[in-house]
Structure 1
Amino acid sequence: MIEALELTKRYGRVTAVDALSFTVRPGVVTGFLGPNGAGKTTTLRMILGLNEPTAGIVTVGGRRFRDRPRGLRHVGALLDAADVHGGRSALAHLSALARGNAVPRRRVAEVLEEVGLAGAARRRVGGFSLGMRQRLGIAAALLGDPPVLMFDEPLNGLDPEGVRWLRGLLRRLAAEGRVVFVSSHMMSEMEHTADHLIVIGRGRLVASEPLEEFAARGARAGVAVRTPDPAALAALVTAEGAELRREDDGTCVVSGIGAARIAELAFEHRVMLHEVTPRGSGLEQAFMELTAGEAEFRGAGGEEGRSR
């Protein structure tokens, strides 16, 4: 279990992480979300002892990570896939890590096979694509067979097959009773992968709750429907336990049931529909609404930007 209590990190006058408290429990995939500049990477680095907190404490299994002599046996982490010597082969890189952490040599071959790099084991990392580097970083995290795993943006550079593979891997690791903590900006993948979410903004806790509860906050996402008989449609969807609201342009937005069910109800009761369009996911909408004021910088087009 990872436990943070009043965790704070300041750089001069800038507070990157602000009295942040949370718990990451085993057996579930916990997503770590926040706008750019929210303090996600700084938090992960403090968990690993790479950054010293200004105040507060964070422990892994009841102890500070830096107090554990063989780190990879306790926590496996991928923070930066590019942080590997390009002149080394994948085999040499993992072998060095295994020796330094008293990990059996056989594990090197096992994790290379697991991440799909067995055939590239003797190739220099400098010639790897970003997706291959990500897989190597994941192999390094798995090397010590640790009970706690942390990944910072592990989906970057992966192709669709790689994304599906990683999704299955994360869920399997959690099912084995491990702590799985994943920082990502890809809402769609978190929606398919995470069980619990920890959301931060400007270094402060915004939410810590099951994914379903968090996504329910974004009920306004809904399904946009255009119909010449909105009253009849409202009666149908209300009977199903859903909600309908009218927008200024006459569009009906239905939340609580999906587009397919709305179309089925309209067909069964002969209510004409001119449009049925699903909007953004509930998770994405909830995230945007709760973190709207938490971006450090915001451009005229609404995009935020600051290094984490």
Structure 2
Amino acid sequence: MPRRGPPGSVDLVIEATELTRRYGRTLAVDRLTFTVRPGVVTGFLGPNGAGKTTTLRMVLGLNRPTSGTVTVDGRPFAGLPRGLRHVGALLDAHDVHGGRTARAHLAALAAGNGLPRGRVAEVLAEVGLADAAGRRIDGFSLGMKQRLGIAAALLGDPPVLLFDEPLNGLDPEGVRWVRGLFGRLADEGRTVLVSSHLMREMEQTAEELIVIGRGRLIAAGSLRDFAAGGTPPRVAVRTPDADALVAALTGEGATVRAEDDGSYTVTGLTADRIGDLAFTHRARLYELGPRAASLEEAFMALTEDSVEYATEAAR
């Protein structure tokens, strides 16, 4: 169940229906249908060129769909007055006027959206830029620009937030902070959509996933279901008699991969069958059980046919 926000909050969903965008002969987004619900962090994943940024731009009304629709709370974003009160977004941290100070940049956004000027200081403090408020943006590092972009997204205290690659340029402390921020925003009942290529971070941040490739929907659902469904069942094995057992397993047609921690991952045989073979070949077992696939492994398995530029090693 999605978590509800504080009193006065409004649960808004993002809904795309047969969303399509063409650029000449190039089909960037192809009949994409999905729903982003409140109360959870939803990861938006796909290989380079999959159409993620184009989709986010259509949500925000920056690109018009060739066909299909995308709405926030049942309406196109362009029809929402004072947009920052409804949807906050970070698409490109570099898309700011470098000659302005951080304070002036946010003050201009606040004025244009009818927001109280006091919000500027609040969001600068929230993202850790209070001491840099008077500095010109062209002197900011990429990580600082990312924080400023997040501050702009938070400025209107919106119920819907979109972030495109928000972790680029952040140091480990910044990554931990962003991870906690997204979780808190979702806990407040907001709708949070995060586009990222960092699989390990999405594994620790997202609860729901939308995965696209070549503009088409590949998968949508919970992180757990995605990881489980993206790769065949695997078994973790740990044994001091590896030579004998590995030979027996491969002889039965299994694939065996040695892991850095000294264990083995076996694909193609059940745990029961592995146990029988270990008994037959007098191989001691210190561990025998299911091994969950990582998000990265599941992602690579599901998107291998949707990569725009594949190397020979990946074919």
Taking structure 2 as the reference length, what is the TM-score of the superposition?
0.82
Q: Is the 8 A contact 1:245 1:252 kept in 2?
A: no
Residues 113-124 of structure 1 correspond to what in structure 2 (within 5 A)? 113-124=125-136
| In 2: Cα distance, 1:288 partner to 1:62 partner | 34
Partner of 1:142: 154
Which residue, 48, 63, 76 being the options, matches 2:88?
76
Partner of 2:176: 164
Q: Structure 1 residues 182, 245: closer, same or farther in 2, change over 3 A?
A: farther
Partner of 1:54: 66
Q: Structure 1 residues 222, 291: closer, same or farther in 2, change over 3 A?
A: farther
Partner of 2:39: 27
Q: Is the 8 A contact 2:238 2:285 kept in 1?
A: no
Amino acid at match of 2:112: G
Which residue, 30, 55, 63 being the options, matches 1:18?
30
| In 1: Cα distance, 2:113 partner to 2:21 partner | 29
Partner of 2:306: 294
Q: Is the 8 A contact 2:256 2:265 kept in 1?
A: no
Partner of 2:254: 246
Partner of 1:230: 245
1:145-166 per-residue CA deviation (whole Å, 9 max, x = no partner) reads 0000000000000000000000
Give 1:228 deviation, angstroms.
3.9
Secondary structure at the aligned position of 1:94 is classed as helix
Q: Is the 8 A contact 1:225 1:254 kept in 2?
A: no
1:108-148 per-residue CA deviation (whole Å, 9 max, x = no partner) reads 00000000000000000000000000000000000000000
Q: Could you say what the CA RMSD is over the residues aligned between the two structures, in angstroms?
A: 2.9
| In 1: Cα distance, 2:132 partner to 2:125 partner | 10
Partner of 1:238: none
Partner of 2:8: none
Q: Is the 8 A contact 1:195 1:210 kept in 2?
A: yes
Report the count of equivalent residues. Answer: 279
Amino acid at match of 1:207: A
Give 1:295 deviation, angstroms.
1.3
| In 2: Cα distance, 1:47 partner to 1:222 partner | 42
Amino acid at match of 1:271: R
1:166-200 per-residue CA deviation (whole Å, 9 max, x = no partner) reads 00000000000000000000000000010000000
Amino acid at match of 1:120: A
Residues 123-134 of structure 1 correspond to what in structure 2 (within 5 A)? 123-134=135-146
Give 1:281 deviation, angstroms.
5.0
Alignment of 1:285 with 2:297, yes or no, is yes
Give 1:296 deviation, angstroms.
2.0
Q: Is the 8 A contact 2:213 2:307 kept in 1?
A: yes
| In 2: Cα distance, 1:144 partner to 1:281 partner | 39
Q: Structure 1 residues 224, 59: closer, same or farther in 2, change over 3 A?
A: same
Give 1:247 deviation, angstroms.
2.2
Identity among equivalent positions (%) equals: 65
1:251-302 per-residue CA deviation (whole Å, 9 max, x = no partner) reads 95247xxxxxxxxxx9xx99267x99xx995211110010000012223343
Q: Is the 8 A contact 1:72 1:141 kept in 2?
A: yes
Q: Structure 1 residues 187, 222: closer, same or farther in 2, change over 3 A?
A: farther
Partner of 2:5: none
Partner of 1:261: none
Amino acid at match of 1:230: L
Q: Structure 1 residues 135, 219: closer, same or farther in 2, change over 3 A?
A: farther
Moved more, 217-226 or 287-296: 217-226
Taking structure 1 as the reference length, what is the TM-score of the superposition?
0.83
| In 1: Cα distance, 2:141 partner to 2:293 partner | 31
Give 1:64 deviation, angstroms.
0.4
Partner of 1:6: 18
1:46-73 per-residue CA deviation (whole Å, 9 max, x = no partner) reads 0000000000000001110001120100
